[in-house]
Structure 1
Amino acid sequence: MEQKRVYEQVGVAMTSRSYAEYEKMFMLQTENLIGKRVLDVAGGASSFTAEMRQLGVFSEAADPLYEKSVEAIAEHGLQEIELVADKMEKLVDVYDWTYYGSVAKHKAGRVKGLKQFVNDFSSKDAASRYHAACLPSLPFEEASFDLVLCSHFLFLYEEQFDYAFHQAAVRELLRVCKPGGGVRIYPLLNFQQAEYSKLPELIDELTNEGYLVHKREAELPFLPNSHQYLCIIKQPSA
């Protein structure tokens, strides 16, 4: 039997995704977020926060990466982009290139996102929206954000982090989310291209505690089977 070819990842990757990618991962409607407070957790050097701010959304990001200098982040980002491109060249036939087009275009998008991030992270008031922090402990008061996003971190790293970590991390995302707001996590897969094995258990726990939890369809075809994100609604108190 031919062995499944998967993306090999050591440690936690840093990425520089764009707002357009977030829009498709999480099915965002910008017009509904204008004036709202949004948090991107483990966003790395994504341009999401910078782009959302320009659109009138009060977006912030949290990542341990932000302890580093802008020069260090830029250098690390470019190295990561090259590393990812090299890995993808060996797995071209594994992925769905409908959205990205090619490895070269994917790489160009990452470089653009990194430049946008670096430009914003270099600004005088960057500390007000970029917070050096990591799950499962975020430096925000309870019920601070209307929408909390986490892409390409939690479930993807099933082998690196145990279930207790995932439980604590999701509960922390919910803690900083406002009642009536939501948490969205993408993808639901690990690096073996299988759904996170403890997801049914996690969904049951959260549902029993009164959260509205659903798998919803995403529109970023790329990873095999990555057509869904998890949506958790924090219901208002009775």
Structure 2
Amino acid sequence: MMIKKHYEQIGVAMTCRSYEEYVRMFDLLPEDMENGRLLDVAAGGSSFTAEANARGYSAYAVDPRYGAGIKEWIQEATEEIETSTAKLAKLQENFDWSYYESLEKHRAGRVASIERFAAHVLDAEHQERYIDGKLPELPFADDSFSLVLCSHFMFLYADQFGPEFHTKAVLELMRVCKPGGQIRIYPLVSLNWERYAELGKLLEIIEFNGGKAQLLTSHLPFIPSSTEYLKINAAKQ
């Protein structure tokens, strides 16, 4: 009997992705990012916030790891890169390497991202950009951000977080998004590489609560069967 391979992960892994990866996965254009504050949710060790601010945008990141002990977490995240690389090595024939080119370059990108992130988050001048918090209850006022991004958390861990969590989480992202703003979520598949089973119902909930939901093409090929991201346009006042 053939055993289906999938990426094995216990608990939520850190994410270490670059600005360019965010641009590709979310199909971001300058006009998407220049209309107000940006928020990266469950940002982990990604360098998007550091790089976006360096480009003149106003970006913030939120993650439950940004509290006490962040230096220790950065070290753990650095070590986790080696663990995840070893997992990918056993499954690499399943992934699309057209962007990363090789396992070695994929790993190098993760290392560069965590190093850029660490330099930024540990700099007193930028620490206010990193907020300790997690879904489904974020520590922000209503209508706080013009663009809200969530990479490699929602849907990916569908086996650990059920439909009720995902519904509350999406509504929370909509709450902190300004009227006329956008929310973008990627990927739409779980670690089993299967599309989130309750996505249709979730789209209906989004529409019922005033959002306009679209499934659009992502330009970061890698995860099997993951070619789309979810874009939500928040209702205008």
State the one-letter code of the partner of 1:196.
Answer: Y
Correspondences of 1:1-238 after superposition (within 5 Å): 1-34=1-34, 36-237=36-237
Q: Deviations over 1:37-60 (max 9, x none)?
A: 100000101000000001111000
CA distance in 1, matches of 2:73, 2:86: 20
Report how many residues are paired: 237
Runs of 4+ in 1 over 4 A off after TM superposition: none
Q: CA deviation at 1:31?
A: 4.7
Q: Larger deviation: 64-73 or 200-209? A: 64-73
State the one-letter code of the partner of 1:215.
Answer: L
Q: CA deviation at 1:30?
A: 2.5
CA distance in 2, matches of 1:90, 1:229: 26
**Which consecutive residues of structure 1, in runs of 5 or more, have no partner in the other structure?**
none
State the one-letter code of the partner of 2:201.
Answer: E
Distance 1:32 1:213, change over 3 A: closer
Q: CA deviation at 1:4?
A: 1.4
CA distance in 1, matches of 2:219, 2:25: 6
**Which consecutive residues of structure 2, in runs of 5 or more, have no partner in the other structure?**
none
TM-score, length basis structure 2? 0.97
Q: CA deviation at 1:70?
A: 4.2
State the one-letter code of the partner of 2:158.
Answer: E
Q: Deviations over 1:117-158 (max 9, x none)?
A: 000011113331100100011111100000000010010111
C-alpha contact (below 8 Å) 1:35/1:56 kept by paired residues? no
Q: CA deviation at 1:68?
A: 3.8
Q: Larger deviation: 228-237 or 24-33? A: 24-33
Q: Deviations over 1:55-83 (max 9, x none)?
A: 11100000001014342132111111001
Q: CA RMSD in A?
A: 1.1
State the one-letter code of the partner of 1:87.
Answer: K
